[in-house]
Structure 1
């Protein structure tokens, strides 16, 4: 009997779907996903408590004080420490001859980006040295009852560490290093150049008065700002940072 299909036979049909194989593949895929989730969860647990699994490193176990603060860059300068009656630290140089007195008008420390005018200050009613107005962050005070910068004896300049809203002129003073230079322009047109010999952080209750204000035969410069911890009850910092420098040269600008 003649068939009704072209090409002499029935059309070719696709093979029937293997339902059992499909179920098996789905089961294997779900098992693989569950295995990955289990491994990731285990890793997170171990990383969250490495000490429980013997994986904590010695570095993490060190006290905070033993941790390096900065892996790269120059080390922090060592602060000068001595009894209050010890003379100020001096750089290993020959001091320049002292000059006649002249009022300071501007201070510059190029490495720290300090460039500020200087204002004359005296004593407050409570007997302490006045400080520049707190609303002027870039102003330095010169204590006029001491030597002028470049004159024989210590010249004392004071500046704020910060104000209520921002850092102030001497905020980076603790970053100074021995050998740094400080320039002070005077009213007579001469700029006195000072070389740093030491930086000290002293508790305000044991301020080294003799070291800072005592008489000296050469021209010295002492910079003072606040340091230590801010005491919210008193409204003051606990320490002072003091930079000691000696005049090593001068030039007329």
Structure 2
């Protein structure tokens, strides 16, 4: 993936296998974009099979830091304050496109790059653990592959979602956070609206991201990103 580096380092975009590279500094409101696909072996002539995914950059510490032990988390969502306390996601379910997938956490590796979800598991989504957890106040970012070397992957049909569709995320604390889709949009990677997608928000928001558009065989990359914008609609405890 071509992108920039975290705050405090000089920008030095370059391709690096299956890792994702990060922006040089956070935008004024929050996250930045990492929007190119993973570099892998060439796809077949008839069908692109390289794994593709998009994910966020490292957010500012003030945006992404987990609450301190002394903080008083809210026990559940309410009409007055829908935000949930911090809790990592376990499973993603989207009935309209038959998604039922476990999560893996995405983190910054020793090289300063955020590792992508494993390309050998087509039914796996990644959550950037440095950002908001799903249901927590702020923007939570979930990335998934469109396809892999072996065929279609978990977010193959992400672009088919419609406003009003529901996205359920089961969290480690036993709460299912239900998000309602606001819009589904496709952006050129060359003109990606970083601030709009990754900006910090005062309410719980969700972004689901994958690659889309035409496949560029020379660049071994899709030209666009598909982004689902959603907000926390309700929450219930199941365990």
Which TM-score band (shorter chain)? 0.5 to 0.7
Structure 1 residues 123 and 234, CA, compared in 2 at 3 Å: closer, same or farther? farther
- Is 1:241 paired with 2:226? yes
Q: Give the secondary structure class of the aligned counterpart of 1:240.
A: strand
Q: Which has the larger share of helix?
A: 1
Determine which of 183, 191, 195 is the counterpart of 2:168.
Answer: 183
Compute the displacement of 1:143 (Å). Answer: 0.7
Query: Which 5+ residue runs of structure 2 have no aligned equivalent?
Result: 1-78
- Is 1:114 paired with 2:114? no
Determine which of 114, 118, 132 is the counterpart of 2:117.
Answer: 132
Compute the displacement of 1:130 (Å). Answer: 3.1
State the distance in 2 between where 1:96 and 1:116 align. 28
State the distance in 1 between where 2:178 and 2:80 align. 11
- Is 1:163 paired with 2:170? no
Determine which of 194, 205, 220 is the counterpart of 1:220.
Answer: 205
Structure 1 or 2, whichever has the larger Rg, is 1
Tell me the residue number matched to 1:205: 190
How large is the RMSD of aligned CA atoms in angstroms?
1.8
Structure 1 residues 95 and 215, CA, compared in 2 at 3 Å: closer, same or farther? farther
Q: Which has the larger share of strand?
A: 2
State the distance in 2 between where 1:201 and 1:153 align. 22
Compute the displacement of 1:204 (Å). Answer: 1.1
TM norm structure 1: 0.60
Query: Which 5+ residue runs of structure 1 have no aligned equivalent?
Result: 1-93
Aligned residues: 160
Structure 1 residues 95 and 224, CA, compared in 2 at 3 Å: closer, same or farther? farther
Structure 1 residues 125 and 212, CA, compared in 2 at 3 Å: closer, same or farther? farther
State the distance in 1 between where 2:137 and 2:217 align. 39
